[in-house]
Amino acid sequence: MDFNFSEEQIMIRDAAREFAQKEIVPIAAEFDESGEFPMATIKQMGELGLMGIEMPAEYGGSGMDTISYVLALQEISEADASHGTIMSVNNSLYANGLLWHGTEAQKQSFLRPVAEGQAIGAYALSEPQSGSDAANMRVRAVKSADGSYYTINGKKSWITSGPVARFVVLFAVTDPDAGARGISTFMIDTELNGFIRGKKEPKLGIRASATCEVEFDDYQCPAENLVSEEGKGFGIAMSVLDAGRIGIAAQAVGIASAAYKASREYVQERQAFGKPIGSFQMIQSKIADMKTRLEAAELLTMKAAWKKMTAEQTGEHYGTDACMAKLFASEAANYITHQAVQIHGGMGYSKEMPLERYYRDAKITEIYEGTSEIQRMVIARNETGCR
């Protein structure tokens, strides 16, 4: 057992940290307030290789491992969770299905511009009536008589980066009578006719990460943009979510780390009754619990990342590890940011400090890519075999 990182992993972590502290921290509050998508810094992240860390070099990526990705994402999310969300969707939800199941032509067309930061990718699974019940979808894809294209109709909701995405991984029903086995995966070019972006969602947190509904109105998707085979979509979606949950765990660790570090510094500086508030037992209890949960969350996240890296060689499934990491890290982030606001008192509640932003941003990590309730259900089912 070795807890040391390789030189390459340390290099990407330090590069991400330097960029995040220099370029993202100064603008994070402004973009949170305005809700504007931070396109300039996202393009810079692409130039640094952060938008395609695990993608192979032949597709424009950095060709690094999952631990490198987790380390970099933690640093970006510590500076701003919105940037971390955009980075996570590009690297995991958007890219993994293509990497595992796409053709060479699809990878060259749809991975390279996203990995290089020249385009934004999105993942379209949820619908207005189907969130946790992902198989209950209504978006239809009907193959043309000559087999050259699919006509797609319907609406997807809660699409991260939807307002700005050039490409979308879409899950749609091709066989309505087959249930989950009738779902297929398509690569969508949003510049083609029939793709409609809905209004941006006014969110509690990660406000600079744009989210919207998208609608398909007789959208004609070329048949060569079908990923894998008809009916394989639900399996692709679920396997991609396993990988994505590691990214959300890393994001949660980053948010929690920012809140913890701010609190640790504050309790040493803030004076009450003639001494630092860190001298008081109640504050010490909070700091101890925050630190312990942060370390545990990071270790669970790193273990899940390691399991994903070794899965191809061992054949061992890492879904339970990803769920546990996501569940624990997201709940730890919510606990830690809550305690950080409490420690800072009135200043923690004020927008003059970033604590209230960390608090708002942490909440989403318990919801997207599977709620905490869904994580518990999946973990229990995997452990017991009971359905």
Helix axes 281-314, 66-79, angle to 10 degrees: 150
Query: Does 356 qualify as catalytic in the annotation?
Result: no
State how far Cα 78 lies from the chain centre.
14
> From CA 11, how far away is CA 68, in angstroms rounded?
9
In angstroms, how far is CA 103 from the centroid of its own chain?
24
Length of the chain: 387
Alpha carbon dihedral 287, 326, 85, 139, in 10-degree steps, equals -150
Please state, in angstroms and rounded to a whole number, the distance separating the CA atoms of residues 374 and 55.
Answer: 28
Give me the amino acid identity at 118. Q
Closest CA to 214 of 261, 176, 177, 166: 166
Question: Quick one: which H or E segment has residue 308?
Answer: helix 281-314
* Catalytic choice (23, 369, 373, 383): 369
Q: Is 186 helix (H, G, I), strand (E, B) or coil?
A: strand
Query: Which residue has 């991400």 as its token pair?
Result: 16
The single residue listed with the structure tokens 């690094």 is 64
Q: What residue type is assigned to position 284 of the chain?
A: Q
Extract the tokens encoding 119: 């385009």
Catalytic (active-site) positions: 369
